[in-house]
Amino acid sequence: MTHAPRLRWTTIAVALAVTAVAAPTAHAADNYVNQVGTYDYLTQPDFAGLASLGTAIDGRTLGLGTFNDLDGEFVLVGGTPYRVGTDGTPTVVDPSVSTPFAQAVDFQADASGPVAPGTTCANLGPVIQDLAGSSDGIIAVRVRGTFTDLLTRSVPRQSVPYPSLAEVVAGQTQFPLGEKRAVLVGFWQGADMKGVGQPGLHLHGVTADRGAGGHVLACTLGGDVQVSVQRTDGVVIHSRE
C-alpha cells in the first residue's frame, strides 16, 4: 500500500489546542486511530485525564497510552486492556478509568513478515516502513515472538504541579525481562503526525504469560518474531468528556 493517508484536518478540541480529522463514517472508522488527548498535551506538561479509557478503546483491539496522572502504562492486546504499574505486573483494567492519552485501532494487518534474529527494536523502523510502503501517517504495529533481551518500564503516579516528561522518565522503574515470549503493540508515527503522537516507533507490550510488561525501552528479536503492520487512514481525537 503506497497511497498517502487520507487526512482532513479540523480543530475540534479548544481546551487542548490540537487538531484532528473530522469523524469518518461508521464504515471508514474501522481503519482510523481512535485517540484521547495528544502527545503535545502531555509535554505541556499536563497528565490530567481527559476522557475514559473506553472512549479510546470503543471496540478496538490494539493500542497503548497511560492513565490519569501518568499512573502506569496502558497496553491493549487482542481487545483486552492492561495496566502495568511500577510493580511491572499487567492487570486487566476497567475501561471507565480516566486517561490523558491513549491510542487504539481495530487491528487488521495489511502485511506481515519475519525479521532477522538479532534485530533490535531501535532498528525496526525500516522494517515497518518497508512493510507499510510508507513512513508517513500512523502505522499500527504488532511484534510478537521470542525476544532475547527485553527491557520495559513504568512510571509512578504524578501530582500537581506536574513535572516535565523528562523528569518523570528520570524516575522510571525498569524491568529487565531477559528472554521472553511477548507481544509488543503500538504505532509508528511519521513527521506529518508531529504532536499528535510520539514521533517514530512507540511500543508497549505484555509477555505471553501476562506476567510482565510495560513501555518498551529496548529489545532484541529472536528467531521466530513476526512484524505485522496496518497503515491507517488517519486519527480521530477526543478531548474532554
Smallest CA-to-CA distance from 142 within 192, 216, 85 is with 216
Same domain as 187, residue 122:
yes
Residues 61 and 120 placed together within one structural domain of the fold: no
| Residue among 82, 67, 83, 76 at smallest CA distance from 107 | 76
Give yes or no: residues 216 and 170 share one domain: yes
Q: Is the dihedral of CA 154, 160, 162, 167 positive or negative?
A: negative
pLDDT tens by residue, 66-122: 999 999 999 999 999 999 999 999 999 999 999 999 999 999 999 999 999 999 999
Which segments of the chain does DSSP mark as H helices, in order?
39-42, 53-57, 125-132, 165-170
Phi/psi at 169 (5° precision): -60, -35
pTM (2 d.p.):
0.89
pLDDT digits 0-9 by tens, 200-237: 999 999 999 999 999 999 999 999 999 999 999 999 99
| pLDDT, average across residues 42-58 | 97
Domain limits for position 93: 9-107+233-238
In the chain, helix, strand, coil percent, each to 5?
15, 45, 40
- The pLDDT score that the predictor gives to residue 119 is 98
Residue 13 lies in a domain: yes
Tell me: do 103 and 115 sit in the same domain.
no
Residue 128 has pLDDT above 90, yes or no: yes
Domain contains 133:
yes
Task: Pull the grid cell for residue 79.
Answer: 481487545
pLDDT on residue 101? 98
Q: Please give the tally of structural domains in the chain.
A: 2
Give the pLDDT score at 29.
61
Q: What percent of the chain has pLDDT over 70?
A: 88
Cα dihedral 82, 25, 195, 130 in deg (nearest 10):
80
| 5 — pLDDT class (breaks 50, 70, 90) | very low
Contacts of 201 (CB under 8 A, 6+ apart): 121, 124, 125, 128, 141, 186, 187, 188
Task: Give the pLDDT of residue 44.
Answer: 96
Query: What SS3 class is residue 36?
Result: strand
Q: Give yes or no: residues 129 and 103 share one domain.
A: no
